[in-house]
Structure 1
Amino acid sequence: MNALKAEIVRVIQNEGPLPVSRYMALALGHPRHGYYMTRDPFGREGDFTTAPEISQMFGELLGLWAAHLWQAMGAPSRFRLVELGPGRGTLMADVLRATRIVPGFHGALSVHLVETSPVLRARQAETLSGAGAVWHDTVVSVLDGPAIVLANEFLDALPLDQFVMTAEGWCERLVGLGEDGELAFGLAPAGDGAKARAPVGTVLEQPSAALDVVAGIARHLSREGGGAAFIDYGPIRSGFGDTLQAMRRHAFVDPLAEPGEADLTVHVDFERMGQAGLRAGAALHGPATQRDFLLALGLAQRAQILSRSADAAQRKAIFEAFDRLIEPGEAGMGDLFKVMALSHPALPPLPGFDLHRVPEQV
């Protein structure tokens, strides 16, 4: 039993079973033993790979998207370029490289990163040496004045709670101890409240932390100006289901087996996130599939340009990355991943989305 698991067992013995959200928070963010506090989890040698690590094209196109947004904002002389959960700093490095061609953009921006992991902060500092980056512990502290916010695979790691419909009504799923002393899921009466009726066995997830983040950013953008892009995996429309999953060495594992040793994530409910943004006063763009978004921004053309100066092995890698970013199904990220943007309501439609915005129905 690892140190974090032993500590969680002690907490349960002293306080009782934990909500799924608290278990996730401890597994991912415990100050000494949390998953993100102790390692660089990215790449082949880690547990998973994100789009910026697959290809520079992803960050380059997102950078030009951000530059277009800045111009649509009236090219303010000062704004914050913010990334939430910046990983190794790869995405931001690609954004900054691609936007050097945009007059005035670099002179106006300051780079701000929301990151709690000391390991990843050190890696980001190496990658972004010379960028003058400023680090923040929370989303609240990073928002100040006009802002462009980028969040790739950030919302999926925020803790949520789960509820299960039983013959007696809704119960909250908790993490407790089984008869063998191991961590196990259980249920406790939660009361129906405002929760919808559903068949017995239905799982309802309540992503309060993610909804709060999206609403807070939307409120800020509606007051101070700017926009935000959220890229993550999950459905366009809300639904029921248990989406909690754990990933270790690029394979799915039991989320309760070794807390702190595997990445815990959930699918993002983009419909609810979009509605939270609208209620907070922002304009909503999308969501679109990652495939449609990247192709609309010129991914195919960028791949062709890169391939012109590449050797055979490099060209093969470029187009393998191209396929992985947009392919549908389990082989690629094209349909599973979605892109949603929020902006100040006075801004025009943003690149990568349909020319019309989602009707403002809340």
Structure 2
Amino acid sequence: MTEPAPTLPELIDMQIRTSGPMSIASYMGLCLTHPSKGYYKVADPLGAAGDFVTAPEISQMFGELIGFFVVTLWQQMGSPKDFTLLELGPGRGTLLADLLRVACRADGFRDGLDLRLFETSPSLIAEQNARLEAYEPKWIDAFEKVGRGPLIVISNEFFDALPIRQLVRTDDGWHERMVGTNNGNRVFGLNPTPIPATAMPEAIANAAPNSVFEVGLASGEVMKRLASTVSTQGGAILAIDYGYARTQTGETLQGVRKHKFADVLEAPGETDISAHVDFEALGNLATSAGLAVQPLATQGEFLRRMGMDQRAKALSAANPGSAADVTAAKNRLLDADQMGELFKVFCASSPGLDPPGFA
């Protein structure tokens, strides 16, 4: 009789037994993007039946305002006849569908559009295709495959899902936190070899004992590649995510399952794992590539500057029976005690452009 294929938890535990404890980055990578068993390969994480709800699923206004942002930049670049619009992790395609419904009203936008999507989930790719087929989307698996002409990149809750490393300050310096096993259970531990102090950022050099520093090497690599392309071809990068404006210590690694916080070690492949984004680090990489970085805005600030209050009034006037739902969605996206303050909006662009929505 054929032995059943090992589950993802079994594969992870087997690798730890064979090769020793793994970094949190390696663990996150296996949990989220294992080729056949990873969370984003087998789960449908979005919506009430999934694990979380994203801003585009809350209201059409979110995507519509980003559509206005994109078309404004396109016009500032001279309305190029060939340009690429790339979304990172497009979910169900809701954001792009709302965005393109607005942007394609501009003369020439649809004709010049080369739509690219970076996605790893087969089920979500099917949903994206169903919503976006009319725009002839192309799916890419590497950031070098972005087409010709200026490049406009958008992402919502993408960078937070990229693997991080965690470093912990002890009496004898910084040590990397690892995932190992103890009595058959997955547990955290520290690599006994300290990391040279010279390798640590100046901003956290004097951190207190037991401080945790999270390093987004994968996020940095994505930003570096995209910023290099935008620097060469022209365009902009817009990233909306939860994170912090300045490089700092703090433990933000978290698991979410069925809309509740969950132990990140408990159910590999069944739990969404994420961490806050270090926007200062991403901005430094974009600046090094020659891009202009806007002052970081909160989601509430950005959407208000883009006209969400006015759009909500117009929608409510056009659909009086839905006015209460429109107001509730607007408040959820804007209010400080909901998504308005936690989520930040980052933009890096070619020098000379004036991205709307920023101070």
Q: TM-score range by the shorter chain?
A: over 0.9
Give the conservation status (yes or no) of the 8 Å contact 1:286–1:339.
no
Task: Measure the CA separation in 2 of the matches of 1:249 and 1:20.
Answer: 22
Name stretches of at least 5 consecutive residues in structure 1 with no aligned partner.
Answer: 355-362
Is 1:327 the counterpart of 2:330 in the alignment?
A: no
Shift of 1:155: 0.4
User: Which residue number in structure 1 is paired with residue 53 of structure 2?
Assistant: 49
Q: 1:351 aligns with which of 345, 349, 356?
A: 356
Matches within 5 A, 1:157-306: 157-178=161-182, 180-188=183-191, 189-192=193-196, 193-195=198-200, 196-306=205-315
Shift of 1:145: 3.1
Give the conservation status (yes or no) of the 8 Å contact 2:97–2:132.
yes
Task: Measure the CA separation in 2 of the matches of 1:190 and 1:176.
Answer: 18
Shift of 1:190: 3.2
Shift of 1:311: 3.5
Task: Measure the CA separation in 1 of the matches of 2:328 and 2:217.
Answer: 37
Task: Measure the CA separation in 2 of the matches of 1:165 and 1:82.
Answer: 39
Task: Measure the CA separation in 2 of the matches of 1:266 and 1:343.
Answer: 25
User: Which residue number in structure 2 is paired with residue 60 of structure 1?
Assistant: 64
Given residue 140 of structure 2, which amino acid in structure 1 is its aligned partner? H
Task: Measure the CA separation in 2 of the matches of 1:248 and 1:142.
Answer: 33
Given residue 238 of structure 1, which amino acid in structure 2 is its aligned partner? T
Task: Measure the CA separation in 1 of the matches of 2:266 and 2:194.
Answer: 26
Give the conservation status (yes or no) of the 8 Å contact 2:43–2:270.
no
Say which is worse superposed, 35-44 or 122-131, in terms of deviation.
Answer: 122-131
Task: Measure the CA separation in 1 of the matches of 2:294 and 2:224.
Answer: 15
Shift of 1:197: 3.5
User: Which residue number in structure 2 is paired with residue 154 of structure 1?
Assistant: 158
The runs of at least 4 consecutive aligned structure 1 residues that moved more than 6 Å come to: none
Q: Normalising by the residue count of structure 2, what TM-score does the alignment of the two structures yield?
A: 0.95
SS of residue paired to 2:305: helix
Is 1:317 the counterpart of 2:325 in the alignment?
A: yes
Task: Measure the CA separation in 2 of the matches of 1:293 and 1:133.
Answer: 27
Provide the aligned C-alpha RMSD in A: 1.2
Task: Measure the CA separation in 1 of the matches of 2:52 and 2:97.
Answer: 20
Say which is worse superposed, 234-243 or 25-34, in terms of deviation.
Answer: 234-243
Task: Measure the CA separation in 2 of the matches of 1:222 and 1:48.
Answer: 34
- Count of residues paired in the alignment: 348
The 1:251–1:149 alpha-carbon spacing in structure 2 relative to 1, beyond 3 Å, is same
User: Which residue number in structure 2 is paired with residue 359 of structure 1?
Assistant: none
Q: 2:90 aligns with which of 83, 86, 91?
A: 86
Shift of 1:234: 0.8
Shift of 1:169: 1.2
User: Which residue number in structure 2 is paired with residue 117 of structure 1?
Assistant: 121
Task: Measure the CA separation in 2 of the matches of 1:206 and 1:247.
Answer: 21
SS of residue paired to 2:134: coil
Given residue 28 of structure 2, which amino acid in structure 1 is its aligned partner? M
Task: Measure the CA separation in 1 of the matches of 2:95 and 2:257.
Answer: 22
Matches within 5 A, 1:25-40: 25-40=29-44
CA deviation vs aligned residue, 1:52-82 (integer Å, no higher than 9, x gap): 0000000000011000000111111100111
Shift of 1:143: 5.6
User: Which residue number in structure 1 is paired with residue 343 of structure 2?
Assistant: 337
Shift of 1:94: 0.5
Shift of 1:199: 1.4
Given residue 98 of structure 2, which amino acid in structure 1 is its aligned partner? D
Percent identity over the alignment is 45
Shift of 1:217: 1.3
Give the conservation status (yes or no) of the 8 Å contact 1:45–1:249.
yes
Shift of 1:139: 2.4
Q: Normalising by the residue count of structure 1, what TM-score does the alignment of the two structures yield?
A: 0.94
Name stretches of at least 5 consecutive residues in structure 2 with no aligned partner.
Answer: 1-5
